[in-house]
Amino acid sequence: MLRVTQTKNALLDGATIAEDLYTTPKDCEEGFESLELPGKNPKKLSPLLRAGVLTTVRGSAYMEYGNTKVMAIVAPPHELMRATARRMNMGVINCFVNFAAFATGELESVPEREKHLGSMLSKALEPVVCRTEFLNFQLDIRVLILDDDGCLLSTAINCCGVALVECGISTYDLVTASTACIYRDNVFLNPTAKEEELLRKHRGGHALAGSENSSSTTTGAPQEHGLITTASMDTFDQLAQCQQCGYLSPGTYVKLLDYTLAINKSLRQIIRRVLTARIKEQHELDVREKAESALEDQRLAEIIERLGRQGLDEFIQSTIKEDPFVKR
Amino acid sequence: MAYVALSEAEKTFILHGVEEDFRCDGRSRRDYRPMELETGLVSNASGSARLRLANTDILVGIKTEIDVPDPLTPEFGKLEFFVDCSANATPEFEGRGGSDLAQELVLALENAYESPLAFDYRTLCLIPGQQCWKLYIDILILECGGNLHDAVSLAAKAALHNTKLPRVTASLLDAGVTDLIISDNPYDCTRLTIDTVPLLVTVCKIGDYCLVDPSAEEEACSTVSIVVSVSMRNGEAFLSGSHMTGGGAMHRDTMRNCLNLGLSIGEQLNTLLAKVLKQEEERVGPKRPKTVGFLK
Amino acid sequence: MATNATIELALDRVDWCALAERQDVLPRVYTPGEVVMPEAGFMRGHGTFVEDENIKASVAGVIEKVNKLISVRPLKSRYVGEIGDVVVARVIEVQQKRWRVDTNSRLDSILLLSSVNLPGGELRRRSAEDEQMMRRYLDEGDLISAEVQNIFEEGTLSLYTRSLKYGKLSQGVLVKVFPALVKRRKMHFHNLPCGASVILGNNGYIWISPPKSQDQEGGEGGFAQNLGEAVPRNEREVIARLRNCILALAKCKLMLYDTSIQYAYDESLKYEAHELLQQNVIYDIGEQTQARLRDGDE
């Protein structure tokens, strides 16, 4: 543990500060140094994705991104619960995000994050779903976070996109999402929880520490830090959602935005592959089922033909199998 | 948002007006409706402001409390936002109707104020790691006439400017225990610097054009809008948070245009607000004789 | 990219009462509970009650006397319909053989399928197809102008549009004011000389639209809308100015009728249309219009 050195504060008149055990900006710094800085070539992303993990619900999907594990469940639209929520010509989308009890180490902020993620998720999915098709209906989307290791929102959006297709809900396009963050001039694409924590919990404590040297005049350029989550629909180059937090100059914002859009494009390929594989699988099942039912039909036709040829009594006689026990 | 019924023909009229850069009330796409501001009208709060933007009426009160700082940020004070969409704004807010909107506003404000560069949390610190100020920013929506995000953020910033924290002196007792003495002289107080405090600007997309300060009718016509939080630092505009809302999608280039519009408007609003606050202070003086409030 | 944004201080707020004080004759205003007059020989109407053989006001407002009927009319009230009133209304719901419309009155009003002009001839039987096509004629959210045909016992208004001047409204702006501010006159449809047509609904809904050309009038059968054409800029400017003028007059609590609107419009020409949203400008226009109206009376 580190010790706080005396800090001057305008609100305090002549007080000395007791030494206390606390995390400091230095902690933050150490945390930063322990991170693997992104290289020139960003790491190859390899999300694992599966559609239709649960058998009892219509649409479900599971996605693993690094250590983040997310499951999305989409139920077919049902009638609106609250009549007041009704919108002219549009269906309503409700998203519920839940953390599994073991998903994250820090439980205190969970309800708040659940709310925030839920509201952002519905905002991201609203433009994707053809909401005009289920007027007066609501579509409930549930997301379960099994393990939290950063990029929760973007992974949840990806996962929901697949679950929507799996459920057979009409959508305008495939939706893909990714996250980029910047901290101390280092761009992290799809950051891990540790990287996000630096931004969120320490709230860029370092950013201030850096500017402290030139404190009173604050002439030094402020340390930018921030995180962008972008959801896009690439067929028409549309952004479904773009959420940012932190402190960014417009130039950096656009730079990060373009990074995420590039990742979204490559993610789209992966999602397409998964979906086509899933549909092929389904198709093969259908074909096999059809073949089996054709076989069954054939057998029945044979029996009927025999019945017609032999007459009823003879047919019964010939089809009764002798009971091996009675025989003895 | 509060729901407004519009016929197709009215929507078309609004849409064409936006294309012409001449809106239904004669404004251009970059114009705001006139606003009215008063600070310090709630005597029981440490800081307060009321902002009226056409029909949108916002009252903000700030209460203070001494709290223990978060272990992860020992040098930072705390802010907490609360938005109350009272049912007298629109009948729709009755019961739990306003809670979704209130939550959205709270999230947008929290996101905008999150960065220590946007709001200097160190000024709220009393003894690092031990004591800090916690500000409760309570926002009351009295009337709802569109463009809530902008109005709420302007009112919140004005209220922060108006906030007076009593001066605190600390005396060190033995064993590292400190004793806080809070001055009870109402004029012996510190103020917050609000130079970098962000403002939210809603840029609304109607047709192929972007506009600011949509009225409730215009909000009903728009497919998507982006809420940009603009914080000024060293004369430059920075983004301290943004998100899209409204259920539509937009192209990347449109998004950039919206962003630029939002930033430039945010910058101008910031200077305007600073000017007005200074002007009010000069005219009112340190001892406030009486407030206008809701009278006249 | 300059923006026109203004923040005024509440200290500078315009004192609207000053406008009323200059009026020479102020009507007597009664407050609830105040004795209006002894009951003997009079009948009590709306806004009054009888106690101790006196007629007392139950609302704050001015007295209205029709023969022996005494009623007190409040400034702010929802619209109370009268047969023959011209109203502007918005469709809320499409129901079996009728539309439910909002007329700013206490209860929603009714527009029966049989009281509208259907396209293709005035005298036509309503067929089953027409019932299915109702949403095609008037959908939820659409605005209509209509006349009050009947008042049901509980106060629901029944409207009709069986005249070529009524029907579905096309492009334009709706302005809502207090119903009491709209002066009851013979004419409620006006083609103002400044270049816009205005429908002053008795229910406080005012519709401003581009001027109708003479040949077009009456020829649209009540349902045609020209959504494809954009309203040209000059007409749009007039409409925006009129809208702001009407709101300014309403803010100054001045009665709305063609002359007052035209005066306000004339006075407003020295300002830009968007400046008319500002308080001091509104006050100025109210003052000027009031002066001109008074001059006209004398």
Reported as a single tens digit per residue, the pLDDT across A264-287 is 888 888 888 888 988 898 899 999
A18 in any annotated domain: no
Looking only at the bridges linking them, the beta strands covering C69-74 and C61-66 are antiparallel
Chain A interface, mutation test: which of B244, B245, B251, B264, most A Cβ atoms within 10 Å? B244
Contact B31 C174 (CB under 8 A): no
Q: What is the pLDDT of residues A133-172, one digit of tens each?
A: 887 788 899 999 998 888 889 899 999 999 998 888 888 8
Looking at CA atoms only, how far is residue C79 from chain B in angstroms?
Answer: 19
HSE, CB side, 13 Å, CA atoms: give it for residue B261: 23
HSE, CB side, 13 Å, CA atoms: give it for residue A192: 11
A247 interfaces chain B, CB cutoff of 8 Å:
yes
Which CATH class for the C11-74 domain? mainly beta
Element spanning B205, H or E: strand B199-206
A179 in any annotated domain: yes
Report pLDDT for A210: 44
| CA–CA distances in Å: residue B45 to residues A249, B125, B165, B188 | 35, 20, 11, 16
Contact C5 B35 (CB under 8 A): yes
Does residue C184 surpass a pLDDT of 90?
Answer: no
Residue type, B133: W
Please identify among residues 178-237 of chain A the ones whose CB lies closer than 8 Å to any CB of chain B.
200-205, 207-208, 218-219, 221-226, 233, 236-237
Contact A246 B115 (CB under 8 A): yes
Tell me the average pLDDT across A21-39: 55
Tell me the average pLDDT across C72-91: 84
A320 in any annotated domain: no
Tell me the average pLDDT across B238-265: 88
Strand, helix or coil for residue B89: coil
Contact B8 C6 (CB under 8 A): no
A190 in any annotated domain: yes
Residue type, C219: G
Does residue C33 surpass a pLDDT of 50?
Answer: yes
Does residue B194 surpass a pLDDT of 80?
Answer: yes
Residue bearing tokens 């306003």 = B98
CA separation for the pair B223, B250 (Å, rounded): 9
Nearest to B32 among C3, C92, C241 (CB): C3
Q: How many domains does chain A have?
A: 1
CA separation for the pair C209, C197 (Å, rounded): 5
Report pLDDT for C220: 46
Looking at CA atoms only, how far is residue B126 from chain C in angstroms?
Answer: 34
A48 in any annotated domain: yes
| CA–CA distances in Å: residue A86 to residues A82, A123, B84, B227 | 7, 16, 22, 24
Does residue A217 surpass a pLDDT of 50?
Answer: no
Contact C10 B54 (CB under 8 A): no
What region, left, alpha or beta, does residue C269 occupy, with left being phi > 0 and alpha being psi -120 to 50 degrees? alpha
Chain C, nearest residue to B275 by Cα? C7
Tell me the average pLDDT across A99-105: 83
Instruction: Compute the radius of gyration of chain B from its Cα atoms.
Output: 20
| CA–CA distances in Å: residue C183 to residues B23, C94, C95, C124, C240 | 28, 31, 33, 36, 22
Contacts of A79 (CB under 8 A, 6+ apart): A136, A137, A138
Report pLDDT for C222: 54
Contacts of B139 (CB under 8 A, 6+ apart): B58, B59, B60, B81, B82, B83, B84, B105, B152, B155, B156
Query: What ipTM, to 2 d.p.?
Result: 0.85
Mean pLDDT, chain B, as a whole number? 85
Sign of the C-alpha dihedral computed for residues B39, B42, B43 and B46 taken in this order: negative
Strand, helix or coil for residue B125: strand
Nearest to B12 among C14, C227, C239 (CB): C227
Q: What is the pLDDT of residues B115-135, one digit of tens each?
A: 888 888 888 888 887 888 899
Chain B interface, mutation test: which of A214, A230, A245, most B Cβ atoms within 10 Å? A245
Domain, as residue range, for A75: 2-6+24-282
CA separation for the pair A205, A201 (Å, rounded): 9
CA separation for the pair A197, A189 (Å, rounded): 14
Contact C239 B24 (CB under 8 A): yes
Residue bearing tokens 């045609």 = C224
A-chain residues near B255 (CB < 8 A): 239, 242, 257
Q: DSSP alpha helices (H): ranges in chain B?
A: 8-20, 99-113, 148-162, 216-221, 252-284
Element spanning C261, H or E: helix C258-268
Chain A interface, mutation test: which of B252, B256, B258, B263, most A Cβ atoms within 10 Å? B252
Report pLDDT for B123: 85
Chain B neighbours, 3+ Cβ pairs < 8 A: A, C
Q: Cα A197 vs. chain centroid, distance in angstroms? A: 19
Report pLDDT for B154: 92
Report pLDDT for C72: 86
Report pLDDT for B62: 93
Q: What CATH number should be reported for the domain holding residue A43? A: 3.30.230.70
C222 interfaces chain B, CB cutoff of 8 Å:
no
CB burial readout B100-131, b (16+ within 10 A) else e: ebbbbbbbbbbbbbbbbbbbbbbbbbbbbbbb
Nearest to B13 among C7, C173, C237 (CB): C173
Least confident of B85-89, B108-112, C238-242: B85-89
What percent of chain C stands above pLDDT 70?
89
Contact C9 B38 (CB under 8 A): yes
Chain C interface, mutation test: which of B7, B12, B55, B294, most C Cβ atoms within 10 Å? B7
Spell out the domains of chain B, with CATH numbers in brackets.
8-284 (3.30.230.70)
B118 interfaces chain A, CB cutoff of 8 Å:
yes
B-chain residues near A250 (CB < 8 A): 237-239, 259-260, 263
Least confident of A78-92, A125-139, A193-207, C203-217: A193-207
Looking at CA atoms only, how far is residue C256 from chain B in angstroms?
Answer: 19
Tell me the average pLDDT across A299-323: 81
A128 in any annotated domain: yes
Residue whose C-alpha is closest to residue A158's, from A283, A263, A244: A263
Nearest to C231 among B16, B50, B293 (CB): B16
Give A51's strand partners: A61
Contacts of A104 (CB under 8 A, 6+ apart): A110, A145, A148, A193
Residue type, A297: D
Contact B178 A243 (CB under 8 A): no
Asked if residue A25 lies in contact with residue A205, where contact means CB atoms within 8 angstroms, the answer is yes
Residue whose C-alpha is closest to residue B255's, from A263, A247, A224, A242: A242
Give B35's strand partners: B53, C7
Chain C neighbours, 3+ Cβ pairs < 8 A: B
Residue ranges of domains in chain C: 11-74
Looking at CA atoms only, how far is residue C245 from chain B in angstroms?
Answer: 10
Report pLDDT for A216: 36
CA separation for the pair A37, C45 (Å, rounded): 83
CA separation for the pair C174, B43 (Å, rounded): 40
Interface size A-B, in CB pairs within 8 Å, comes to 187
Looking at CA atoms only, how far is residue B38 from chain C in angstroms?
Answer: 5
A297 in any annotated domain: no
B-chain residues near C244 (CB < 8 A): 25-26
A35 in any annotated domain: yes
